[in-house]
Amino acid sequence: MTGLNTSEANAYVKFCTFWQTLVPNLSASELDSIEQLYPDPRIDHRSPYNETGEGLGAQFRRIEAAYEHYAYVAPVRQTAHLASLQGGLVYLYHWALSRIIIGANNADNM
């Protein structure tokens, strides 16, 4: 069994230009693709990341989602897929408890 928690990464994301720091070899084209996938809520008011709360900056939800997908969602889904190729049963869960600010954090599902 493998899985992920919504907002699992929000406690670890504390930098604005994390993609260039995290993956320095990303090309300009790849960075543009990330911009399109996670639109800046300060520029695009229809951005799904246009949510702030007490103590949250304008970029918080955007950075949280992008990092969560990169560091948690994609690897968990890939692990489940690769394990399924072995012929056994694989269970993939997504714990998505909704909280006002921090969402479902790492290990909340326990």
| Within-domain flag for 11 | yes
Residue 49 has pLDDT above 80, yes or no: yes
| Within-domain flag for 110 | no
| Within-domain flag for 34 | yes
The per-residue pLDDT for 35 is: 85
What predicted TM-score, i.e. pTM, was given to this entire model? 0.69
Q: What are the E-state strand segments in the chain?
A: 2-5, 92-95
Report the amino acid identity of residue 47. Answer: S
| Within-domain flag for 27 | yes
Q: Which domain holds residue 12?
A: 2-95
pLDDT tens-digit series, residues 8-46: 555 554 444 778 888 899 898 988 898 899 998 888 889
| Average pLDDT over every residue of 74-79 | 94
At 74, the pLDDT band (50, 70, 90 cuts) reads: very high
| Within-domain flag for 103 | no
| Within-domain flag for 108 | no
| Element at 34 (helix H, strand E) | helix 28-37
The per-residue pLDDT for 7 is: 60
